[in-house]
Amino acid sequence: MENYEIYAIKYAEHDRMSGANFIGGDAHEVPMPLDYYVWLIKGATRHWVVDTGFSAEGAAERGRRFLRCPSEGLGLLGVQADSVSDVIITHMHYDHCGNSHLFKGARYHLQDKEMQYATGRCMCHRTMRYPFSLGDVMAMVERLYTDRVVFHDGAEEIAPGISVHHLGGHTAGLQVVRVHTERGWVVLASDASHFYANMQDERPFPVVYNVGDMIEGYHKAYALASSPEHVIPGHDPLVMKKYPAPHKDLQGIVARLDVAPVA
Ligand SMILES: [Zn+2]
C-alpha cells in the first residue's frame, strides 16, 4: 500500500483563554490559543486537500488573525490550488469550508449527513447556524448542481490507503480522514477534537451538535489510528511544535505529519 506524506498548513490563529475550549470552562483559565489549518495529503502521483479554510474577509468578520491564504500555504509545498482535483471537507463550518473561489476544478468529498445538517432544520437555530457561512453552503449547493460533490455515507475508501469515517459530534456529519504513512495509520481528526486535551481528558469543546457522539468519536478516532500519537487534532498549536517543518524556511507555517513527532 502506498505511503502518503501529510502536511498541516497553518493559515490563521485566535487568542483565547482555556475556559473557552471546554464545556464547563477550565479552572486554570490560562491562555490557550487556536491555530487554523488546512491539510495536504501527497501521494506519488495524486494529492488531496483536506478542508479549505477561510479568507481574509472571513477572518475580519469573526475577529481571527489571518496569516496567509491557504492557497499560499499550498503553494509553499508546490501545489497550485486551481490544479487540485479532490478536496475532502471534514465538515462545513466557516473555518473548514471557505475559499470556494480557489478550488474551481476540484470535486468535494463530504458526508451526506453534513449536507443535510447544513441545509436542514437545525439551521433554523442561530446557535447551530453561527459557525456556518451562508456563502460556503450556497457554494456547496452550486457544486452539487454542477457534478462536483462526491457524497460519502459512514466509512468509505477514497483511494488505496485513504479513507473517510463519519464520527459526527461536533457537527452532525463530521468525518475524519485516515491515511496510510510510513509510520502507520495517521488520523486527521479535524474538529472531532480541537485540541489534544479534548480527546485525552474527555473534555469536549463547547461548539457541539451531540456531546455523546463527540466523546464516542474520540475513541473511534483512536481506534482508527496506529497509536494515540497518530491522531492529529484540528486546532492545536502543539501540532506545529510536535512535528518538524519540511524545511527550516517553513518553521511555524507547515508541519509534516507522516514522520515521527520530534517533541
Ligand atoms: Zn474548526
User: For 246, how many CA atoms within 13 A lie in the half-sphere containing its CB?
Assistant: 17
pLDDT of res. 1 = 87
Domain-located, residue 49: yes
Expressed in angstroms and rounded, the spacing between residue 190 Cα and the centre of ligand 1 is: 7
**Model pLDDT for residues 139-148, shown as the tens digit of each residue:** 999 999 999 9
- Give the per-residue pLDDT at 263: 83
Alpha helices (H) along 82-210: 112-118, 126-129, 134-144, 196-200
Domain holding 88, by residue range, is: 5-256
How many domains does the structure of the chain reveal?
A: 1
Burial of 220 (0-12, 13-18, 19+ CB in 10 A): buried
| Separation between Cα atoms, residue 211 and residue 5, nearest integer Å | 32
For residue 167, what is the domain's CATH number?
3.60.15.10
Which portions of the chain are predicted below pLDDT 70?
none
Give the residue from 183, 191, 263 showing the smallest Cα distance to 233. Answer: 191
Asked if the structure places residue 261 within a domain, the reply is no
DSSP secondary structure, 44-98, as one string: SS-EEEE-----HHHHHHHT-EE-S-HHHHHHHTT--GGG--EEE-S--STTTS-
Establish if 263 belongs to a structural domain. no
Residue 107 lies in a domain: yes
Q: Which of 207, 144, 198, 139 is nearest to 171 (CA)?
A: 207
Dihedral over Cα of 20, 26, 31, 36: its sign? negative
Q: Is residue 250 part of a domain?
A: yes
Looking at the domain assignment, is residue 161 inside a domain?
yes
Distance of CA 1 from the midpoint of ligand 1 (Å): 30
Q: Give residue 70 CA to ligand 1 midpoint distance, Å.
A: 14
Instruction: Give the pTM.
Output: 0.98
Looking at residue 169, what DSSP letter applies?
Answer: S
Distance 191 CA to ligand 1 centre (A): 5
* Predicted pLDDT of residue 200: 98
Ligand 1 midpoint to CA 175 (Å): 12
